[in-house]
């Protein structure tokens, strides 16, 4: 897969957003994908220093483009030139890139997903204006994304108000190896802060806490590691001096990961007084080193504290109370400290990157429709005829009972109108049948299905190409029709054994007798032609009881095989307009299905397209991981 990530800041920049993209891109490259990162050509912290236009970092191509304007909304329209050669675009954060990529999607025509990373609500700056923008511009542009990856539970709740579909929780992964188990081996009353020196991190309150702790025990110290942002090292040094902490606070910038690991080895606690975090990636990184978390009371940190049961959490605006909580929490023995270290490292492992990257890759495949495409709440398999045969053979060999239905516009309409049918088809392998499904695929996914897998053509192809020798039983149609169809199949496919046939004119209470005949015959493949959706409902209720391993709902197949109903000419079948022929020969029976039904189907597909991409149900499952900026 060719993946392009678009993000405003990247390596050598330091921060949660940069780390997220770097780790995700590296994991994807290691999995064999072709990965490119498009980013700005200057760091906000060093605006006068131009970075290389092209380089390779962690196995990924990095392309840097110029920008104008402020770091709050940097304008970089050249990004449009960099989106051409990829299968999917992954935009990170809600900013100019987010808006511009959506507004120009008819030009670049690339499927896109976005990770929210907290949106633009990291601080109270222009909060009212942000809310207005979010409810208007962001609501409009978010519709251009096939999936929205909420980076936290908070983001999930916020973005759901403007994008109810195609939204799923994917929290950040963490590189738990770079600092793994590097924390102090014995209790050291030293806190570490790692991150940007930004206003929302409230490093001043960390110093207030340090002053309160030193009132209880003068051994407490604080190490501040990161990069200048809203505040610079001189400002932090002045704060420390004002509190009489100059000898107890160490401020360092420009450290690489190895140097940071050394500093973590001199500490036992990772601390943050931040007023906002999507998750707080530095806290999980610190815990991977074995450090115990000391956290300000915000929703993201509360989740870490509640799930890990480690450290202390409280209101950093009351440093004396927070100091008392920390003092009461301190492990009383070396054995207790070692247990806390071990628990912190173990807790961090749930956020490892490989699992998160695999989940994101699955979402890419969902939105691209690589394996299945969701059309009107039905998940249609994406496969050529050969792939479909091989898929079914694997399931038969593995002993997985499998029901197959062929979904056309009429089937999709019925499933929309009847919840029972929709639930039933959720347990089937569904193949695409006809021009209507192909049109829906083009409108929603931007491309056609590989093959037209209608039951009338696919079932004979399956019997010809399957590697499994089947014992086949036919159910449905008039007595003379089903017998004629059975004789036709026996002659055409002598490798298989046609073990029985039963007409479809039996009341529901007689199903038990039909099933007994099927079991007695030892059938493993059922062909059921009771009309749609009766045949699918019958298969759903009785497949297990029948003893068969595989069942197809085959519609009018028996009529065609017996010769009772003629097929459309080959050129009409090839053009996928066989429905026109059937309408012409059976107008009284088919006019409502094809003329009214097709119009209703198209309207529903267009409504789905307007609502935005709908992920399959499994894509909404919560992933382990954390996020932060």
354-396 tens-digit pLDDT:
889 999 999 999 989 989 999 999 999 999 999 999 999 999 9
At 535, the pLDDT band (50, 70, 90 cuts) reads: very high
pLDDT at 317 over 70: yes
Of 48-52, 126-130, 493-497, give the range with the top mean pLDDT.
493-497
Q: What is the DSSP string of 510-524?
A: GHHHHHHHHHHHT-S
Both structure tokens of 520 = 């007695």
Average pLDDT of the chain is 91
- Give the C-alpha separation, 462 to 431, whole Å: 13
Cα–Cα distance measured from residue 72 to residue 76, given in angstroms and rounded to the nearest whole number: 12
CATH architecture for segment(s) 2-172: 3-Layer(aba) Sandwich (3.40)
pLDDT above 60 for 622: no
The pLDDT score that the predictor gives to residue 596 is 83
Please check whether residue 99 is in contact with residue 141, taking contact to mean a CB–CB distance below 8 angstroms. Answer: yes
Higher-pLDDT residue of 547 and 610 is 547
- Coil, helix or strand for 262? helix
Report long-range pairs for 254-261 (Cβ below 8 Å, ≥24 apart).
254/227, 255/225, 257/178, 257/179, 260/179, 260/194, 260/225, 261/178, 261/179, 261/182, 261/289
What integer is the mean pLDDT of 179-193? Answer: 97
- Flag the least confident range among 50-59, 147-156, 222-231, 317-326: 147-156
Count other Cβ atoms within 10 Å, centred on residue 503: 18
Asked if residue 501 lies in contact with residue 485, where contact means CB atoms within 8 angstroms, the answer is: yes
Q: Give the pLDDT of residue 191.
A: 98
Task: Name the band, by pLDDT with cuts 50, 70 and 90, for residue 617.
Answer: low
**Least confident stretch, 34-38, 138-142, 614-618:** 614-618
What pLDDT does 580 receive?
Answer: 72
Q: Does the pLDDT at position 587 exceed 80?
A: no
Is residue 625 over pLDDT 60? no
Start and end residues for every CATH 3.40.50.2000 domain found in the chain? 2-172, 190-351
Residue 244 CB partners (closer than 8 Å, separation 6+): 211
* 318 CB-side CA count, 13 A: 9
Rounded to 5°, angle at Cα 256 from 339 and 241 = 80
State residue 350's pLDDT score.
Answer: 87
**What is d(CA 442, CA 564) in angstroms, rounded to the nearest whole number?**
35
Which band of pLDDT confidence, cut at 50, 70 and 90, is reported for residue 589? low
CA distance 415 to 375: 11
Alpha-carbon radius of gyration of the chain? 31
Q: Which of 77, 114, 80, 89 is nearest to 36 (CA)?
A: 89
Beta bridge partners of 529: 476
For tokens 């993209």, the residue is 21
Residue range 408-412: average pLDDT?
Answer: 94
Q: Which helix (H) or strand (E) holds 437?
A: helix 435-445
pLDDT at 629 over 70: no
Q: What average pLDDT does this structure show over 567-576?
A: 72
Q: Are 115 and 90 in contact (CB under 8 A)?
A: yes
Say if CB 470 and CB 493 are below 8 A apart.
Answer: no
Residue predicted with more confidence, 154 or 298: 298
Residues of the chain with pLDDT > 90, as a percent, come to: 77
**What tokens does 78 get?**
């050249």
**Averaged pLDDT, 303-326:** 96
pLDDT of residue 624: 39
Looking at the predicted structure, is the pLDDT value of residue 122 above 70? Answer: no
Task: Round to the nearest angstrom and report the end-to-end CA distance of the chain.
Answer: 27
The domain made up of 190-351 has a fold known as Rossmann fold (3.40.50)
Per-residue confidence band for 276, with pLDDT thresholds at 50, 70 and 90: confident
Strands 372-375 and 378-381: antiparallel
Give CA separation, 86 vs 81, 109, 166, 292, 360, in Å.
Answer: 12, 11, 21, 42, 16
User: How does DSSP assign 91-116, residue by residue?
Assistant: EESSSHHHHHHHHTHHHH---EEEE-
Mean pLDDT of 573-578: 69
Six token digits for residue 431: 């193949």
* Interval 148-156 mean pLDDT: 89
442-468, pLDDT tens digit by residue? Answer: 999 988 999 999 999 999 999 999 999
* 422-438 per-position pLDDT tens digit: 999 999 999 999 889 99
> What's the number of CA atoms in the CB half-sphere (13 Å) around residue 495?
11
Q: What is the 8-class DSSP label of residue 494?
A: T
Whole-number pLDDT of residue 423 = 95
């Amino acid at each position: 897969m060719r993946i392009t990530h678009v993000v405003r800041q990247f390596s050598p920049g330091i921060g949660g957003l940069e780390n997220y993209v770097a780790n995700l891109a590296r994991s994807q490259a290691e999995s064999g994908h072709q990965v490119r990162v498009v980013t700005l050509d200057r760091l906000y912290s060093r605006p006068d220093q131009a970075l290389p236009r092209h380089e390779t970092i962690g196995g990924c191509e990095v392309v840097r483009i110029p920008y104008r304007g402020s770091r709050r909304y940097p304008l970089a329209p050249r990004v449009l030139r960099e989106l051409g050669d990829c299968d999917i675009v992954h935009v990170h954060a809600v900013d100019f890139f987010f808006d511009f990529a959506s507004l120009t999607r008819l030009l670049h025509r690339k499927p896109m997903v976005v990770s929210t990373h907290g949106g633009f609500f990291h601080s109270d700056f222009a909060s009212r204006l942000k809310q207005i923008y979010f409810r208007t511009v962001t609501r409009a542009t978010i519709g251009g994304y096939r999936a929205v990856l909420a980076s936290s539970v908070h983001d999930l709740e916020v973005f759901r108000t403007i994008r109810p579909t195609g939204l799923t929780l994917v929290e950040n992964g963490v590189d738990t190896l770079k600092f793994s188990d590097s924390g102090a081996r014995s209790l050291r009353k030293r806190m570490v802060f790692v991150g940007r020196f930004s206003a929302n991190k409230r490093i001043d309150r960390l110093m207030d806490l340090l002053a309160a702790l030193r009132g209880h025990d003068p051994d407490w110290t604080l190490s501040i590691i990161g990069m200048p942002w809203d505040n610079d090292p001189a400002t932090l040094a002045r704060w420390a001096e004002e509190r009489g902490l100059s000898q107890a606070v160490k401020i360092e910038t420009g450290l690489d990961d190895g140097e940071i690991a050394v500093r973590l080895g001199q500490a036992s606690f990772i601390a943050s007084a931040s007023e906002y975090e999507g998750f707080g990636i530095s806290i999980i990184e610190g815990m991977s080193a074995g450090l115990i978390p000391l956290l300000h009371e915000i929703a993201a940190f509360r989740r870490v504290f509640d799930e890990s049961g480690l450290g202390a959490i409280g209101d950093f605006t009351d440093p004396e109370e927070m100091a008392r909580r920390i003092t009461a929490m301190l492990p009383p023995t070396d054995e207790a400290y070692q247990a806390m270290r071990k628990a912190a490292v173990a807790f961090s492992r749930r956020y490892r990157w490989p699992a998160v990257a695999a989940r994101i890759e699955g979402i890419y495949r969902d939105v691209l429709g690589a394996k299945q495409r969701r059309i009107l709440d039905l998940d249609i398999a994406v496969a050529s005829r050969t792939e479909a045969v091989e898929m079914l053979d694997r399931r038969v060999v593995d002993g997985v009972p499998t029901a197959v239905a062929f979904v056309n516009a009429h089937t999709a309409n019925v499933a929309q109108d009847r919840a029972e049918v929709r639930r039933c088809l959720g347990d089937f392998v569904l193949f695409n049948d006809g021009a209507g499904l192909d049109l829906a695929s083009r409108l929603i996914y931007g491309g056609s299905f590989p093959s037209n897998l209608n039951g009338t053509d696919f079932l004979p192809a399956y019997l010809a190409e399957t590697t499994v020798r089947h014992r086949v039983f036919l159910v449905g149609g008039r007595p003379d029709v089903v017998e004629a169809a059975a004789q036709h199949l026996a002659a055409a496919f002598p490798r298989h054994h046609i073990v029985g046939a039963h007409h479809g004119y039996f009341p529901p209470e007689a199903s038990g007798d039909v099933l007994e005949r099927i079991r007695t015959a030892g059938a493993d493949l059922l062909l059921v032609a009771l009309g749609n959706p009766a045949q699918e409902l019958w298969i759903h209720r009785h497949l297990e009881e029948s003893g068969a391993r595989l069942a197809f709902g085959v519609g009018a197949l028996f009529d065609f095989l017996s010769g009772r109903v003629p097929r459309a000419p080959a050129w009409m079948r090839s053009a996928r307009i066989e429905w026109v022929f059937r309408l012409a020969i059976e107008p009284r029976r088919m006019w409502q299905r094809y003329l009214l039904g097709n119009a209703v189907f198209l309207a529903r597909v267009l409504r789905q397209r307007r609502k935005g991409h709908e992920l399959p149900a499994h894509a909404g499952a919560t992933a382990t991981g954390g996020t932060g900026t």
